[in-house]
Amino acid sequence: MILVINGLEWFSKGGWAMYPLAVISLYTVFVILNRLYFFTRFIPETDTELENVLRGTALLPERLNGELAPLLARGMQDGRIDRRRAELAVEQELLEGMQFLNSLDTVTQVAPMFGLIGTVTGMVQTFRTVAELQGQVNPSVLAGGIWEALLTTVAGLMIAIPAVIAFRYFRSRLLRWQNHLNTIVDDCVKITAERGPVRVAVEGGEG
């Protein structure tokens, strides 16, 4: 409760820059939660299917169910996995994984800049007040104006640091996922070449 009260007090004293920073922080939380859901829901299932493919069991019944089915269905041509079509399907999946990540990278740069602008404008206002008083100002009042101006810098860094960590984490997950998908494509091309045409079961129908 105390933290909430202090946070609201800091927000009110931080000036105009706190408002865009608040919007940026909410957007950052949304992106992080969205990507966490995506990477925890989808990738573990594809990892399991990758293990099945590597064991040579996934296509034994000539059907493959699960998250990978739509991807492989897009790569099918005449019952076989066409490498080029499959690679294009992988690129589409990676684009979905990249969704919001570029904007998260932008947040890491924009948030500190907004914080700095807020601090600079706050310092300008503080020293303008000192000039209007012709230097007859209590040092504690001057210090109070300075620390209030610095609040936006603190807020910007508090947004940017988690955004940097999240961006690097998600990007590393995406790169590992790309390697997994490429391995799946390679193995499925070999399997369909050895075993002949297959059918891929997708939700709501078959490919």
Amino acid 204: pLDDT: 46
- 43-70 as b/e: b if 16+ CB within 10 A: beebeebbebbeeeebbeeeebebbbbb
Amino acid 31: pLDDT: 93
Amino acid 70: pLDDT: 61
SS3 138: coil
Residues of the chain short of pLDDT 70, as ranges, are 1-7, 42-83, 135, 137, 140-142, 191-207
pTM of the model: 0.69
CB 63 within 8 A of CB 196: no
Dihedral of alpha carbons 63, 188, 48, 207, sign: negative
- Which has the closest alpha carbon to 113: 144, 147, 148, 159? 159
Amino acid 82: pLDDT: 66
Amino acid 64: pLDDT: 47
- 125-156 as b/e: b if 16+ CB within 10 A: ebeeeeeeeeeeeeeeeeeebeebbbbbbebb
CA distances (Å), 48 to each of 35, 71, 81, 196, in order? 20, 15, 20, 24
Q: How many domains does the chain have?
A: 1
Amino acid identity for residue 174 in this structure: L
Q: What is the span of the domain harbouring residue 22?
A: 2-206
Mean pLDDT taken over the chain: 74
Amino acid 55: pLDDT: 53
Which token pair is 64?
A: 């493959």
